Every structure is written in structure tokens, then in C-alpha cells.
Structure 1
Amino acid sequence: MNDRATDSPPGRLASWEKRTEFPLFMAALLFLAGYAVRVLASPGTEPWRGVALALVCVTWLLFLVDYAARLRLSGLGLRFVHAHWLDTVVLVLPLLRPLRVVRIYNAVRYRRDQPRLDLYARVMAYAGLSSLLIGFAGALAVYQQEHGAAGATIRTFGDAAWWVCATLTTVGYGDVSPVTPGGRAVAVLLMVCGLALLGAVTGSFSSWLLQVFSREDDKRPPERG
């Protein structure tokens, strides 16, 4: 019966994802490292910029091969694009791959046979790691778009990192802001990610507090009339 489940399209897809998720996450980190070198290295630092560009292209091709394999194994045809919309977005924008850190955690846990963390601890860990990786990627992207533009206020990577912190936390000081179309597109993505991550953390923390207070009420002796 297990063989039949494994031979079915969902079983083959799950088996492929289990084997490739962690290596692809490492490839995503290599993509981010190559992109960082490409953006932050000065134009005269060859051959490192060329190596970084090759690394970015190779890792993106790995994402493309993985997407094509999963499309074929799923048996859904083009419906796979709609059913797995996050995978499609990540293929187009590999810098968003940290959003799939939830599946990375599950793959590592299954491989090492470790118990799952508490729900609230998982939410905090996912949100924290995702914020860190997406924030770094967003700072690189907006710095690449902005630092050479006329009238730009984001001139250094430090300016970009400060702007990302203010954007992801929904503070928005407004002292620096993107002026190019590409930089503003990055800003929109970071705003959406920031709201989603902040909402997840706030909701989880509120739920945890309610659970704690409920337990305290249950343990409290009944009041006398």
C-alpha cells in the first residue's frame, strides 16, 4: 500500500520535495551570497563579480529544473502554476525563497527524527529568520536600484539596510525612500512581507497570552459568593 502511495503523482512529488528541499535552500543561500557580491563589489574587482554572476545564474537554473520536475511529477499540468503559486513567484523572484523556510524546517526535522517545536516558538523562529533573510535581500535589491539614480536618498548599503528595517517593521520614518520604479517595486514587496510577518507574530503572541491567562484562570480557586 505504501508503494502505491509512493508511485502516485502526489507521492512522487512529496518524495522529490523531501529529497531536494534542503539542498535547494542551500542553493538559495548561495544565490543570495552571489547576488550580494555582485551588488556590493566595486566594478574593478574582477574576476569576483564574474564568478558571482555565474553563481547566480547556476543557482537560478537549479530552481528552474526543480520547478519543471515538480510540475511534471505533480500530474496537474498547468494547474500546478495556480495550485503552487508561491513556488511560481519564488521562481520569478528567487530573493523571496526564504519565505519557504517553513518547509525547510520540516524537511530537517523529518530527516533527523526530531520533535517539532511548540507552535508559538515555530512562528517566532519562522518570522525571525524570514525577516532577516528577506530584509537582507531587499536591502541588496533596493541598493542596486537606487544608489546611482539621480535624486536618490539611498546612496549606501547602510541607507538601504536602515530603510528596510523601517519598512519591514511598518514604521516608515520617511528620511530615506526609493525614487526609481525598480526600487518602489521592491518597496511594495517588502511592505506586503512586513505586514504578513508582523501579523503572524502579533497573532501568535496574542494567542499565547490568551492561552496563558486561560490556564491561570483554570488553576485559580473559585471565588466564594
Structure 2
Amino acid sequence: MRDRPPVSPAQERWDRRMETPLTVTSLIYLAGYAVRILGHGLPPAVRDLCLALTFASWAVFLVDYVVRVRLSGLGVLRFVRHHFLDTAVLVLPLLRPLRIVSVYDRVQRRHDAPRLTLYARVMAYAGMTACLLGFAGALTVYHVEYQAPGASIRTFGDAVWWACATLTTVGYGDVTPVTPVGRLTAVGMMGCGVALLGAVTGSFSSWLIKAFTREDEKGPPGNDTPGAP
């Protein structure tokens, strides 16, 4: 397996500068999408404004993607191959929280003493990601399901309940999507749920192992006292 190409200094500066604006843009995208899906009784002008915000947010991600491709020095195909997650974020900006993969990778590469703050950040980011993805998935499934023939997801509350059961891999089966788009969304959320649970349990277990290893290396109390065998 080939190593990922190094990131250029210009791209690093761009990434740091755009991290907060792009996160805010993701939230604007989510808010516009949510209001448009749930606001059935809103005036057409408000729904059109939400649609405009959604497309404007998407345009911001497109500009960011093009700039990053140019700053990377790679061709488009090589950039897509080595930055698949960024390409997925371009297709669906709501997936931006899935950048936890890169954070989790940095945690696993650490070889020094464990630091609780870093592991706690990973777990907090995983929780935020699960909430955002669950809300986005519930919106998508509700939008395509609530008027479908034979659907069991008729309200947004049903969709939220279904999203929670799917992300936690419980799968009660009391409400299930029946449309192709709903089922495709369910498959994606199942995969995300497994990945997020693995990231949280893996990072927490790794921190515990390293913490107990440090305690074992120190030895029992009293070994450093004069005259101790």
C-alpha cells in the first residue's frame, strides 16, 4: 500500500484558514436543508431562500475543493484517490464531520505518553458526528418516505427514532425505509455507525492500555525508597 503524498505548506495554511468557515457552511447547509424539508407550511419565498442557501453552501465547498486540488500539486485523479473523504464531502457537505477518520488516524500514530485531552477530543468529535449524521439521515429518509405507499416512517419523529436505531446498529425493525433512496441512506448510516463506534471504543481502549502500561512501568509504591530490595 502506497503512502499518502505529503501535504504542501500552502495547502496546510489553506486548510487551517478554511476549517472554521467550512464547518459553519456545513451547518448553514444543514439548516437550509432542514427548514426546506420540515417547513411544509412556510411561504414559497422562504423555501426558495433555503434552497438558495443550500446551493450557495455547496458552491463554497466546490471552490474549496478546486483550490485544494491546485495547491496539492497533484492531478485531479491522484487527488481524488488520496483524498476520497474530501471528495465525498464535496458530493454531500453533511459528511464533513466524517473527517474524524483523519483525527483518529493521528491518534493511532502517536507513540508518546497518552494524553486524555486528545482522546477525549476524538470521542467528542465522534459524538458530534453521530448527531449530525443522524439528523441528516433522518431528514433524508423522512423526505423520501413520509408519502411513499406502504411506508412505516410517516413523521419526522419516526425518522429520528429509526436513525438512532440504525446508527447504534441496534436495528429494531419497527420502522424501516421502503424506497430505494431510503434504503441506500440506511446502508450508508449502518456503515457510519460501525465506523463511529469503532473509533470511540478503539481510542478509549487505546488510552486505557497506555495509561495502565505507564502505571505498570512505574512499579509498585515503595520501590524507590532506600534499602528496598
Q: Offset at 1:211?
A: 3.7
1:158 maps to what in 2? 157
Which stretches in structure 1 are left out of the alignment for 5+ residues? 1-8, 105-115
Task: State the AA in 2 paired with 1:97.
Answer: R
Q: Return the TM-score normalized by structure 2.
A: 0.81
**Does structure 1 residue 201 correspond to structure 2 residue 200?**
yes
Where do 1:136-151 residues align within 5 Å? 136-151=135-150
Q: CA deviation at 1:77?
A: 1.3
Residues 140 and 219 (structure 1), Cα distance of their counterparts in 2 relative to 1, 3 Å cut: farther
RMSD: 2.3
Q: CA deviation at 1:93?
A: 1.5
Q: How does 1:1-225 map to 2 (within 5 A)?
A: 10-42=8-40, 44-78=42-76, 79-100=78-99, 118-215=117-214, 217=216, 218-219=219-220
Deviation at 1:206, TM superposition (A): 2.2
5+ residue gaps, structure 2, are 1-6, 104-114, 224-229
Cα distance in 2 between the residues matched to 1:19 and 1:208: 30
Displacement of 1:203: 1.4
Rounded to whole Å, the distance in 2 between the matches of 1:11 and 1:215 is 36
Structure 1 residues 14 and 117: CA distance shift in structure 2, 3 A = farther
Q: Where has structure 1 moved over 4 Å in runs of 4 or more?
A: 101-104
Deviations 1:103-136 (A, max 9, x none): 89xxxxxxxxxxx862321221111111111111
Amino acid at match of 2:138: A
Write out per-residue CA displacement over residues 137-177 of structure 1, whole angstroms, 9 at most, x where no aligned residue.
11111111111111111111100100010011010000001
Aligned length: 204
Aligned-pair identity in percent equals 62
Indicate conservation of the 8 Å contact 2:10/2:71, yes or no: yes
With 65-74 and 30-39 compared, the bigger mean Cα shift is at 65-74
Q: How far 1:87 sits from its partner (Å)?
A: 0.6
